[in-house]
Chains A and B, each alone.
Chain A
Amino acid sequence: MSAADTVTDAGAPTGGAYRSGSRAWKKLRANRSAFVGFVIVVFFVAIALLAPLLPIADPAATDWAAVRKAPSAAHIMGTDEIGRDIFARMVWGARASLIAGVISVLLAVALGLPFGLLAGYFGGWLDQVISRVTDAMLAMPFLILAVALAAFLGPSLTNAMIAIGLSAMPIFIRLTRGQVLSVKTEDYVEGARAIGVGDFAIILRYILPNVFAPVLVQATLTIATAIILEAALSFLGLGQQPPAPSWGSMLNVAKNFLTQAPWMAWWPGAAIFLVVLGFNLLGDGLRDALDPRET
């Protein structure tokens, strides 16, 4: 292992991980729009985590005396078609959205990253098979594939996450593969191989750290897409099932009361927009911050 360590010091990126991490953080702080994105994301994560502790109404409690009431002091976002407090449902809906966004992307990365590493590193028939399967999956439009998967798996939040994760997986396979291809001919990888470091040790120590930054950027941006997709599936009735609160299914119901209670449609969409904007800003900022070519 000592020989491999020498190679690391000769220029592999693992050694400087902490330094480049803090440099990236500084660049992120300096990038105003990325920082706004970061703040938005933290805000929604905090709301989602603190939902049970916040002094808000019970999101499932119906009040037949206050059906479809416009925003007021008692219900700052108004009430829905069966008298539930929309604000409380918005807060709890943040949970469904963020959980769906994060878990489906984790699933996509957990599946896509290893396949991408294998295809890129070993090449040959393995690469051919993985790449063709990736092409085939990418040929199926994201939303149509997710709708079909959710339809066959059955409608639920869990299945929506599986569907979104599977639909997003090919993005990560392709990204990782491309990244591996550009790294594996580098001198330090050749050097490690020359002194007899095993394939899996090379992948873990020298390849994976180089793949990490672009995957992180893509993951952040894909969370944005995944949140929209979860809301879309819930909007179509294929995601979170009522009465559990989710922004997408709230919009689905709100659509039927546009003339009587338009506020039912205002908030969920505005929240989706904000949180997605936050992840997009953060992702764009991370891309700039983690790009070693820019100083």
Chain B
Amino acid sequence: MLSYIVRRLAIAVPTLILVSIFVFTLQKLLPGDPALIMAGEDRDPASIEFVREKYHLDEPIPVQYGYWMQGLLRGDLGVSLRTSQPVLGLIADKLPVTIQLAIMALVIAFLIGVPAGILSAVKKGTVIDYAANVVALSGLSVPNFWLGIMLILLVSVNLGWLPASGYESPFVDPLRSLETMIMPAFVLGTSLAATLMRHTRSAMLGVMKADYVRTARAKGVRELAVILKHAFRNALLPVVTLSALLFGELLGGAVLTEQIFTIPGFGKLIVDAVFTRDYAVVQGVVLCAAAGVILVNLVADVLYFLVNPRMRASL
């Protein structure tokens, strides 16, 4: 057990180091003198000097990376070149907003995707299956920023039911928070729902052919009980692990969703940083997003290992 976790960590750590090298290299893509560019358009000699000093730009590149990595290990992701706030603090401020959006989107995705997948597998080859697949494929093909705009047009502009933008913390005003978040969460959830539906469908199709399902049917268990108790329970495991892989997609989708609904989260932070040329913030967001993805996958792997007796037996 412990050795499995250690082995997984042994892969996660070098991956994280490679990500950090990659994120560090990003700033070398900037054309010209990085100090000039990173200091912004005002070209204030003091801030140019600050950047040069801060990133040790006069040293060789591996040495620069060493300094940068030292900072990372202390939790220092650098300082925003626009607001002078520490990048880690900025991200920590915005993260809860994105987490709320992500959780609500996941709930919506599961509520739509899993039942649709079960239904489509059980009714394989029928009109219901066909319709579910068409809807899922459309969900995968629709650009979610357009879906968001169309929803704003319909629900906010024409019907006036929900606000088109804004954010309220659920701890201050839960109802208002739900009002502002439900539409973005739906937009973010739809493409995930489509992916989940496809996963659930194929997992269910696999399980429905299993011997224990046939046995359950043979001994006269009601069909609904066969589907939910015997088949679905076993199909759920791969679906849940696969959904860990959706975490990255969720973060990426949040960038667009937050932009459309002007939600002050993680995704809005990186887009705003891009336009203010706040490169330290861009790097920080990429690094944190990747760390999050690696962590979620690690946890999912370990959980999968814990709940799956076959995996434990293989050790």
Q: Is the CB of A251 within 8 A of B146?
A: yes
**Chain B residues near A284 (CB, 8 Å)?**
137
Report the separation of the CA atoms of residues A236 and B271 in the bound assembly, to the nearest whole angstrom.
8
Interface magnitude class on chain B = 35 or more
Instruction: Tell yes or no: B22 within 8 A of A by CB.
Output: yes
Closest-CB distance, A65 to chain B (whole angstroms):
26
Asked whether, in the complex, the Cβ of B255 is within 8 Å of the Cβ of A147, the reply is yes
CB distance from A170 to the nearest CB of B (A): 11
**Docked complex Cα distance between A254 and B153 (Å):** 11
Establish whether residues B140 and A251, one from each chain, have CB atoms under 8 Å apart when the complex forms.
Answer: no
Q: Is A51 an interface residue (CB 8 A)?
A: no
**Is A153 interfacial (CB 8 A cutoff)?**
yes
B260 CB-CB contact with A under 8 Å: yes
Interface segment among A175-183, A207-215, A261-269: the answer is A261-269
Q: Is the CB of A262 within 8 A of B256?
A: no
User: Contacts A141-B248, A143-B255, A148-B26 known; A269 to B286 CB distance under 8 Å?
Assistant: no
Query: Do A132 and B14 have beta carbons less than 8 Å apart?
Result: yes
Binds A, one of B55-63, B104-112, B210-218, B287-295: B287-295
User: Contact between B149 and A281 (Cβ–Cβ < 8 Å)?
Assistant: no
B27 engages A152 (CB within 8 Å): yes
Q: Which residues of A contact B253 (CB under 8 A)?
A: 143
Give CA–CA (A119, B49) in the complex, Å. 44
Contact, CB under 8 Å: A148 / B143 = no
Bitwise interface map of B from 277 to 289 toward A, beta carbon under 8 Å scored 1, else 0: 1010011011001
Interface size class of A (residues with CB under 8 A): 35 or more
**B115: min CB distance to chain A, Å:** 22
Interface of A is mostly: helix
B186 at the interface (CB under 8 A from A): no
Asked if A265 and B150 make an inter-chain contact with CB atoms under 8 angstroms apart, the answer reads yes
- Report B200 CB to chain A, min CB distance, Å: 17
On whether A145 and B141 interact (CB within 8 A), knowing A152-B27, A269-B150, A273-B146, the answer reads no
In the complex, what residues of A have CB within 8 A of residue B137's CB?
Answer: 277, 280-281, 284
Distance between B246 CB and nearest chain A CB, rounded to angstroms: 10
A232 near B286 (CB under 8 angstroms)? no
Tell me, rounded to whole Å, the shortest Cβ–Cβ distance linking A9 to chain B: 37
Contact in complex: A148, B15 (CB < 8 Å): no
0 or 1 for each of B12-47: is its CB under 8 Å from A? (1 = yes): 001110110011001101110000000000000000
Question: What residue of chain B has the Cβ atom nearest to residue A279's Cβ?
Answer: B141
Once the chains bind, are B286 and A148 in contact (CB under 8 Å)? yes
Interface residues of B (CB under 8 A from A): 11, 14-16, 18-19, 22-23, 26-27, 29-31, 137-138, 140-143, 145-147, 149-150, 152-153, 157, 248-249, 251-253, 255-256, 259-260, 267, 270-271, 273-275, 277, 279, 282-283, 285-286, 289-290, 293-294, 297
